[in-house]
Structure 1
Amino acid sequence: MSDKENSTDPDAVQALFGDFVPGQQDSTTNPMMRAKEVMKTPLPKRFYKAVSIAADEEGGHRVLLDGRPIRSPAKHQVSVPCEAIARALASEWDAQTDKINPATMPLTRLVNSTIDGVEDAREAMLDEIVSYLNHDFICYPATHPERLVDRQQALWQPVLKWVEEPLCGRFVQANGIMAVEQSPVMGQALRAEWQGLDIFQLAALHTMMTITGSVLLPYAFWKGFLTSDATWAAAMVDEDWNIEMWGEDEEATKRRVFRRADFDAAILVLDALRG
């Protein structure tokens, strides 16, 4: 049995979570693949008995393991802006049994990546979010078969119609592989709305965007037009169709469960910070 497997050192845990932090791995590697790589290494033992939360002097909330605050892979003390997020974080840590498995801790991974990377990357993230408007997948509906076209229209068209007013423009839909240039006015409107978000909100919305392949669906959820389940259903319409046609693939199902856990962690953060 290796030293790492026997480890009770919190640094071993931080190092393991580092594999999930943006900027510390190849950007072309998706979270499911990173989870697989992490699972190839022995997981650290649970080194703590009690999990609790406490308010800090800046008005945030921290998770404590045997009275010691958890730290991010970059060794920042983890502080979140509201008690609801702290309690959900604490639940993830408390749910670990004899080993600590980052793959089962989506909220912890999201919070770590937020604290370690989002503030410095804010402008780049906003640039990426705005650029998504030109290749948002709900602007590229299928042309056949008819039942899939109808299903996409039922789930996507209400969002595209509703978003015209808050983003001050009309989205153009197209078929095929050529990208459509949307009006820059809509990107400016979106950036103006999200420019002032705190790092946790911005990270959660960016996570939803990368999982769904759409910025309009997270925007509709953030504005209260869609529920979380409706957002997920609209994002998964093509995938659901393929499952109905060809059946489930075991690996694809595992990836979907992993993505849904990350999606739900982002939803939790946004719901906790509403208002």
Structure 2
Amino acid sequence: MSEWAAKRFWKEASVTEADTGYGIALDGRPVKTPAKAALVVPTRALAQSIAAEWNAVAERIDPRVMPMTRSANAAIDKVAHQHAEVADMLAAYGETDLLCHRAIAPQELVLRQSEEWDPLLDWADSFLNARLMQTPGVIPADQDSVALERLRARVHAQDNFALTALHDLVSLSGSLIIGLAAQNGAYAPDMLWQTSRLDEAWQAELWGADDEAEQMAAIKRAAFLHAHEFFCLVSENSS
């Protein structure tokens, strides 16, 4: 049974227990991913959130308003089969992390970057034992190989569901450190998102906001916050 049937055909979506976690059933029939794998997730909390999305369907299934289901599908159908490749891609952000590339002028922007980004680099140093170095502009920094390897090990150690969340947290923010800070609860997720948008906010203050850019930023912010929520549900103890 494909979960992407055009119209609602079930009365109730419910959570079921499985050998490796929790599944979702539609009138007792298990939901499968688009690739026909069992939609089984690691925590009851996530399964309940996915079931709520299915129960909220009115007439037609719209994946755009079922973000937990989409992320779970991605973890099972994609990340599970490309874990090493995805982890390598995300770990590589440490070599060119957004937080390391600093403006050289004007002084107000330099100070603002220092105020908002230095604490995150300090957190990575103390909590992750990985100090990344700053560099002017877009010039690549010669980062410490030991620090990069420690970050890489943390990324590779994540399971498929956590890595799915980290993918969006990092790719949307442009920062591996921001992604890991979000996962570890170092700062509020919305604050981390705003921190990743520091340069764009600066430009908007100077030249005014662009409506199209603001709309796109709002979409990305929602996706970032969803990725954090997905990770929190994945990380909750099953009960």
TM-score norm. by structure 1 comes to: 0.76
Mark the runs of 5 or more structure 1 residues left unpaired by the alignment. 1-9, 15-43
Q: Which one of 188, 192, 201 corresponds to residue 227 of structure 1? A: 188
Distance (Å, rounded) in 1 between the aligned partners of 2:62 and 2:209: 26
Q: Which amino acid in structure 1 is aligned with residue 4 of structure 2?
A: V
Residues 127-146 of structure 1 mapped to structure 2, 5 A cutoff: 127-146=88-107
Assess, with a 3 A threshold, how the Cα gap between structure 1 residues 71 and 169 changes in structure 2: closer, same or farther: closer
Distance (Å, rounded) in 2 between the aligned partners of 1:246 and 1:121: 42
1:83 maps to 2:44: yes
Structure 1 stretch displaced more, 202-211 or 58-67: 58-67
C-alpha distance after superposition, 1:201-223 (max 9, x if no partner): 11111221111111001112223
1:153 maps to 2:144: no
Mark the runs of 5 or more structure 2 residues left unpaired by the alignment. none
Assess, with a 3 A threshold, how the Cα gap between structure 1 residues 54 and 105 changes in structure 2: closer, same or farther: closer
- Measure how far apart 1:136 and its partner are: 0.7
Number of residue-to-residue matches in the alignment: 236
**Whose RCO is larger (CA < 8 A, sep 6+)?**
2
Q: Which one of 198, 204, 225 corresponds to residue 237 of structure 1? A: 198
C-alpha distance after superposition, 1:240-273 (max 9, x if no partner): 2333334443432332232223222221222220
What residue number does 1:101 align with?
A: 62
Q: Does the residue aligned with 2:116 lie in a helix, a strand or coil?
A: helix
- Measure how far apart 1:11 and its partner are: 4.0
- Measure how far apart 1:139 and its partner are: 0.5
Distance (Å, rounded) in 1 between the aligned partners of 2:120 and 2:164: 22
Residues 17-28 of structure 1 mapped to structure 2, 5 A cutoff: none
Distance (Å, rounded) in 2 between the aligned partners of 1:162 and 1:76: 39
Residues 111-190 of structure 1 mapped to structure 2, 5 A cutoff: 111-190=72-151
Q: Which amino acid in structure 2 is aligned with residue 175 of structure 1?
A: P
- Measure how far apart 1:169 and its partner are: 4.3
Distance (Å, rounded) in 2 between the aligned partners of 1:66 and 1:238: 50
Distance (Å, rounded) in 2 between the aligned partners of 1:175 and 1:251: 29
Tell me the C-alpha RMSD between the 2 structures.
Answer: 2.3
Assess, with a 3 A threshold, how the Cα gap between structure 1 residues 258 and 100 changes in structure 2: closer, same or farther: farther
- Measure how far apart 1:81 and its partner are: 0.9
